[in-house]
Structure 1
Amino acid sequence: MNKEIRVVAKLAIQQEHINQVIEVFKVLVNKTRKEFGCLQYDLHQEVHDPATLIFFEKWGTMDDLNKHLKTAHFIACFKEVGSMVEHNETRILEKI
């Protein structure tokens, strides 16, 4: 049985690139929400630390998430902003 997958990805962005990264991530969010199996894909910014961005994601299955990670728009996004991200901590969770 395939179980629903949730992802929480916390990224620390270089202070001088916050706005640029947010704009790139907005494009990623819009494209990702159209993917098969994407149930939720939201970007948040910490109130007291604007350089911290957090994605909350919900995927129908792990296979759906794996397909997302191989899409051209996901790869292009992180190729563009990768050097502006100081740290990335991602948790993949299975709904039980």
Structure 2
Amino acid sequence: MSTPLTLIVTLIARPGQAAAVEAALRLLIPSSQAEAGCLQYNLHRHRDNPQRFSMIEQWQDRAALDAHERSAHFLSFGRTCAGLLEQVEHQPMHRIL
């Protein structure tokens, strides 16, 4: 049995685009949380930098994350928001404790 995969995705909106990015990220949440293998999918906004968002995700395994990244809602977000984002950073993690 594989261990769950945690992914921390940090997204930085271009100036003036934070509201649009937040709205698009909010739309991802219900569909992503309903996916097979999704253990956690939560959106956070930086307290001091409103342009900076983090999605804390936990997936049952790499196959579940791969399926998420091929999902229609995920691909739609990429097409819709590519021009609204200044930076996207993915940090794959494995829980130790």
Instruction: Name the TM-score, length of structure 2 as normaliser.
Output: 0.94
Identity of counterpart residues, as a percentage? 24
In 1, the alpha carbon distance for the partners of 2:95 and 2:63 equals 14
Question: Is there any run of 5+ residues in structure 1 with no aligned partner, and where?
Answer: none
In 1, the alpha carbon distance for the partners of 2:53 and 2:15 equals 12
In 1, the alpha carbon distance for the partners of 2:41 and 2:26 equals 11
Please report how far the alpha carbon of residue 20 of structure 1 lies from its aligned counterpart in structure 2 after TM superposition. Answer: 0.9
- 1:25 is matched with 25
State the SS of the aligned residue for 2:42.
Answer: strand
Count residues with an aligned counterpart. Answer: 96
In 1, the alpha carbon distance for the partners of 2:95 and 2:65 equals 14
Please report how far the alpha carbon of residue 94 of structure 1 lies from its aligned counterpart in structure 2 after TM superposition. Answer: 2.1
Q: Is the Cα–Cα contact under 8 Å of residues 44 and 53 in structure 1 kept in the other structure?
A: yes
- 2:61 is matched with 61
Question: Is there any run of 5+ residues in structure 2 with no aligned partner, and where?
Answer: none
* Mapping 1:6-85, distance limit 5 Å: 6-85=6-85
Please report how far the alpha carbon of residue 36 of structure 1 lies from its aligned counterpart in structure 2 after TM superposition. Answer: 0.4
Instruction: Name the TM-score, length of structure 1 as normaliser.
Output: 0.95
State the SS of the aligned residue for 2:36.
Answer: coil
- 1:86 is matched with 86
State the SS of the aligned residue for 1:16.
Answer: coil
